[in-house]
Structure 1
Amino acid sequence: MEDSKIKEDSPEWWAIYQSVNSLSPVSLEVWKEAGISYSLRELGYGDFFIKQEKIPTEYAFVFSGVLKEYYLTSKGNEYIKSFNFPGEFTGSYFDLLTKQPSTCNIRAITDCKIAVAKFGELASLFETHISWERLGRKVAENLFLKKAKREYELLALDAESRYKLLKENYPNIEESVSQYHIASFLGITPVSLSRIRSKLNRTKDKPTNKN
């Protein structure tokens, strides 16, 4: 299915604006004046948004579904670095900035609807208005914090703690993301994840002693 242009003042247009504005305030006047062109794209399960080793030019806003960002090694091993849920933006930001081939893949793990735009349009705005400059800085800050948090979890927390934290942040993740993908994100095998879940369920179901 071909992309379809998102019209100004449509519900999809407002959803994107509200998400941008919550990240870093951009007045409606400045937002409309910029005239960033977004198009609606549908992805089926397994479809790529960005492919590793291809130069990316687009970023996207997720309306529905879930995508995974992951690295694929030369031996075919997959390492998931993050998931992209509805209401979030996705794109290989570092590679978009450097205009280098992507270091990761971004792929749908459910059917998805996303709004796609050219990163060049957004980047050209960073020097035109203080609101856009702040947005660019906020995006970079958030990505740095996300990367630091991810590194801390993998290096300092055990697998059970990482799983608990994931469930705290995304309580309903298991409704849309398979155990295989969750295990890959946690850096463990599906068997190890199953053991952790069984242990936590036993603990949850265990009656407490009352004095």
Structure 2
Amino acid sequence: MDRNFTFLNSISNISEEAFSEVKKISTFKKIEAGTQIVKLSDVPSKAYMLVSGIIRCYVITESGKEFNKSFYLPVSFAASLTALMKRKPSVFVFEALTDCKIYEIDYYKLMRLCDTNSNLKNLYTKVLEFLYVKYEKRLVESITLNATERYLQLKKEIPNVDELISQYQIASYLGITAVQLSRIRKKVS
């Protein structure tokens, strides 16, 4: 059995026919580290299922400073949802931190399929619910936890984060400087 079908079924029951329809609107791609799959101000039309590697989502300030919003690890979904839903330019950049394998899914074709297939509509709803819960958790952590607690929470979610993601990227995600992160690492080891 296809492991992607198994994964999607772990989120919401879908038929093999529905899975076949999603495959028709998806393209498997290997992308190199540093590749931006969504660029700043792009009006995206694709969503992504990450099957290997790490993707980051970040925002760039007017002064050019980057702030990481999210890290995506396999198997997960990544997309500039607001830009997709509103057909507007993305305020986020999605970039491969490592070489990645992804499925690029045509979002608008998926939405048309959801209109006619309740299995896929349920799957889409479950994915959105998962993403919202993840977003809400991150928001609460950023408000209620100090930098050390945020770092420890990140290590809990990604045990080998220090080997996978550069210190600069981790610090940006935590909202601190690399020097502060270095101090926190010393303190907790």
| TM value normalised by structure 2 | 0.93
Residue from 97, 122, 144 that aligns with 1:109 = 97
Residue from 9, 15, 19 that aligns with 1:31 = 19
1:61 and 2:49 aligned? yes
1:46 and 2:45 aligned? no
Structure 2 match to 1:71: 59
Q: How does 1:1-211 map to 2 (within 5 A)?
A: 14-33=2-21, 35-201=23-189
Structure 2 match to 1:206: none
Q: Please provide the CA RMSD for this pair.
A: 1.6
User: Given the superposition, is the C-alpha separation of residues 29 and 41 from structure 1 closer, same or farther in structure 2, using an over 3 Å criterion?
Assistant: closer
The answer (yes or no) to whether the contact 2:25–2:110 under 8 Å persists in 1 is no
Q: How far 1:34 moved relative to its partner?
A: 5.2
Counterpart of 1:104, as a letter, is F
Cα distance between partner residues in 2 of 1:54 and 1:33? 26
Cα distance between partner residues in 2 of 1:81 and 1:166? 13
Counterpart of 1:61, as a letter, is M
Cα distance between partner residues in 1 of 2:175 and 2:12? 32
The answer (yes or no) to whether the contact 1:36–1:117 under 8 Å persists in 2 is no
Aligned residues: 189
Cα distance between partner residues in 1 of 2:171 and 2:177? 6
Counterpart of 2:157, as a letter, is N
| TM value normalised by structure 1 | 0.83
- Any idea what SS the aligned residue of 1:126 has? helix
- Could you say which structure has the larger radius of gyration? 1
Counterpart of 2:33, as a letter, is Y
Q: How far 1:101 moved relative to its partner?
A: 0.8
Q: Deviations over 1:81-114 (max 9, x none)?
A: 1111121111112211111111200001112221
Cα distance between partner residues in 2 of 1:34 and 1:67? 22
- Any idea what SS the aligned residue of 2:25 has? coil
User: Given the superposition, is the C-alpha separation of residues 95 and 19 from structure 1 closer, same or farther in structure 2, using an over 3 Å criterion?
Assistant: farther
In structure 1, the gaps of 5 or more residues are 1-8, 202-211
Cα distance between partner residues in 2 of 1:91 and 1:18? 21
- Any idea what SS the aligned residue of 1:115 has? strand
The structure, 1 or 2, with the larger RCO (C-alpha pairs under 8 Å, 6+ apart) is 2
Identify which range, 186-195 or 120-129, moves more after superposition: 120-129
Cα distance between partner residues in 1 of 2:51 and 2:125? 24
